[in-house]
A = this chain, B = another copy of it.
Amino acid sequence: MSSDSNKPNIAAVIVRDAEPGDIPQVYKLMEELILFLANQDLRLYTEEEFFQFVFGKNPMCLCLVAVLKEDPNFVVGYSTYFTMFNSVDGLSTTLEELYVKSNYRGKGIGTILWKKVTQKALDMGCNSTIFVAHQWNKRALDMYTRHGCENLTEMNGKLLLHFSKKDMEDFVKTSEKA
């Protein structure tokens, strides 16, 4: 038990699937996450687009929210994830984002969110979770490796590449054949 009465007891938190009405709050939390990751708001989509990514005809991701039991409409954290498929891993889940509001950290809410994503992945028949972590984010990396996550970049030299829209546009215009 924490002596900090501003922090909720873990029993006071519920993790559930996001509902349409949660989207405005999750969208705001994403702004905090982008500031944390990139130190500026680079957001490339509107709240309405994000709504469609989760609840539209062709969903791009699944979304869980952590809310307070005493205020079940107040979102203190979220996770986005989705299932994908490749030859080597078969069906797997990508833990895309996991974020808890700064004044609600240190109570295990992130772990509960991650655990719920993991349970859902197992229920969907996934063989693994594949996700990207930041080398500088030691606290998160420690948590991941403590639970057995392997670093494929160090073990197998896997690299993450990024192809910008401008370069994509230039590429499709080239006549290069090989």
Contact = CB atoms under 8 A, between A and B. Distances in A.
A111 interface: yes
A130 to B, nearest CB: 6
Interface residues of A, number: 82
B177 A130 contact: no
Nearest to A165: B127
Contacts of A134: 156-159
Given A111-B176, A128-B163, A167-B148, A34 B87 contact: yes
A97 B50 CA distance: 27
A126 interface: yes
A139 to B, nearest CB: 11
A149 B168 CA distance: 9
A18 to B, nearest CB: 14
Given A121-B168, A172-B122, A130 B85 contact: no
Interface string A12-33: 0000000000000000001001
Interface centre among A114, A135, A168 (most CB of B within 10 A): A168
Contacts of A156: 134
Given A132-B160, A178-B106, A84 B82 contact: yes
A10 B49 CA distance: 39
Interface string A152-173: 1110111111111111111110
A14 to B, nearest CB: 14
Given A82-B84, A150-B161, 17 more contacts: A49-B91, A108-B178, A111-B178, A112-B177, A114-B171, A118-B171, A122-B165, A128-B168, A129-B162, A132-B159, A133-B158, A133-B159, A134-B159, A144-B163, A148-B170, A152-B159, A153-B159
